[in-house]
Homo-oligomer: A and B are copies of this chain.
Amino acid sequence: MQEKIDQLKTLIGEVIDLQQTLGVLGWDQQTYMPPAAAADRADQQSTIARIAHIKLTSDEMGSLIHDLASYIGQLDPDSDEARMVKVAKRHYEKQTRVPTEWVAAFTQVTSLAHEAWVKAKVSSDFSIFQPHLEKIVEMRREYAGFFQPYEHVYDPLLDDYEPGMKTKDVKTIFTALRPQQVSLIEAIRSKPQVDDSFLKLEYPEDKQLAFGKEVITRLGFDWNRGRQDISVHPFTTGLGMDDVRITTRIQPDHLATALFGSVHECGHALYEMGFQAKDRRSILGTAASLAIHESQSRMYENLVGRSKSFWKYFYPRLQAFFPAQLGNVSLETFYRGINRVSPSLIRVEADEATYNLHIMLRLELELAMMEGTLRVADLPGAWNEIMKNYLGLTPENDAVGVLQDIHWSAGYFGYFSTYALGNLISAQLWECILKDIPNLPSQIEEGEFTALLSWLREKIHNPGSRYEPQELVQRVTGRKIDPQPYIRYLNQKYADIYGL
């Protein structure tokens, strides 16, 4: 049996090589690839994805998993072998439902859609992207069909990002969450607004980048095992156990974009850098889910990066970088400014109180497209309507509306909910962290982040994909995903800032 374990490891190692190679092709596409190379890249990605899928669904994989399934019953279910076989079995069973030719075709469709989305966004012209998105929605509905019977057409998609999670679970959580977020926003709206005009001065790009690098270095980003580049849409990608790359986006007239964007991606990167060396090229050395991933990025961005403790340490440094812009802005004013609540159009720049509404908007639209009640041609109108209802705003063009996010161009349907779930998990974890490290806020005031990182390493990063996300949250916090810690956190934070 040990021989079969080794064979399975080798086979999975090859699949991981291929997936990481796809990652390199994708990273390059979004950072340095020449514009005309889109068609070449689509062919390359399609071929690699096809081969990865063939390996993942091969008879060899199937019989190894079959033979090992009974063997691992005799092992400690928490042993690496048992977990590896269990996770591999899950992937195998899902992937064998999907024809390889579908995978190859979808990879090519989304590779070309990415370029179309970039062009559409630059010129704010949805019509450039529309035929690509129509094809993607059609193929995503086809994809869901491979998993019939299901409770909901959206379930198979959600499950790709949140193993074990159902559409109805997300709806239940969001239903509990929305009225509480809305009443918080209303309470804030009745109070005097805080000033954040100083964030929108001219901030030279190179200095923004340099300060961001100083911050994420302090948080623990390992430059020997990673790098940072510029891209249209910031992202993090793990291209190997020792190759974790983040990107950022700099706005010369908005300090917050690159700064909080970099801290956000750093949270993702710390997760990817925190898998165990023994899990290199193993299916266990991967993320538990996207919501768990987002819990790390949103925690660093918000619970750490928008906290007063954090800026007690970093603000004098930031002022030294930008004396003309911030020399006369007090810490207290700065803190309130970066936490200003104000409904806005762009998700990635949304404040913590309104952020989840951006997600709910997207979930509604995705569900409608998947259920077949919303045509892609009608999507920009539907977007604008819900945006008006939820946040009282109307995008002046599609670039800041329906075209703002990269996700749909990449075929990521079922993905957005994980951002909101990540917010919830981040606060739920934070309550546990503060119990275990009561003086963490004063450590952060000293620019000391190692105890925090060690805690996350042990509880969240090291396990990798050993546990499904709800199981992991349950193990660490004693409860499944629960919106109440996040609501408590928001209410307390904004009570202070807005005097609620």
Q: Are A44 and B20 in contact (CB under 8 A)?
A: yes
Q: A25-B21, A28-B28 are in contact. Are A240 and B37 (CB under 8 A)?
A: yes
A48 CB contacts on chain B under 8 angstroms: 17-18, 21, 48
A25 CB contacts on chain B under 8 angstroms: 21, 24
CA of A242 to CA of B20, assembled, Å: 23
Q: Are A243 and B40 in contact (CB under 8 A)?
A: yes
A35 contacts partner chain B, Cβ-Cβ < 8 Å? yes
A91 contacts partner chain B, Cβ-Cβ < 8 Å? no
| Nearest B-chain residue to A225, judged by Cβ | B36
A226 contacts partner chain B, Cβ-Cβ < 8 Å? yes
Distance in angstroms from A40 CB to nearest chain B CB is 3
Q: Are A43 and B226 in contact (CB under 8 A)?
A: no
| Nearest B-chain residue to A16, judged by Cβ | B43
Q: Are B28 and A24 in contact (CB under 8 A)?
A: yes
Q: Are A34 and B223 in contact (CB under 8 A)?
A: yes
CA of A144 to CA of B232, assembled, Å: 48
A41 contacts partner chain B, Cβ-Cβ < 8 Å? yes
A33 contacts partner chain B, Cβ-Cβ < 8 Å? yes
A425 contacts partner chain B, Cβ-Cβ < 8 Å? no
Chain A positions 279 through 299: 1 when the CB is less than 8 Å from some CB of chain B, otherwise 0: 011000000000000000000
**A224 touches which one: B35, B229, B280 (CB < 8 A)?**
B35
Q: A17-B48, A21-B48 are in contact. Are A225 and B28 (CB under 8 A)?
A: no
Distance in angstroms from A43 CB to nearest chain B CB is 5
Q: Are A239 and B40 in contact (CB under 8 A)?
A: yes
Residue contacts A-B, CB under 8 angstroms, 26 given = A17-B44, A17-B47, A17-B48, A20-B40, A20-B44, A21-B21, A21-B44, A21-B47, A21-B48, A24-B28, A24-B44, A32-B229, A34-B224, A34-B242, A35-B224, A36-B222, A36-B225, A36-B242, A37-B239, A37-B243, A39-B240, A39-B241, A40-B239, A40-B242, A40-B243, A40-B280
By Cβ-Cβ distance, the 9 closest A-B pairs, closest first, are: A40-B240, A37-B243, A17-B47, A36-B242, A36-B225, A36-B224, A17-B44, A37-B242, A21-B44
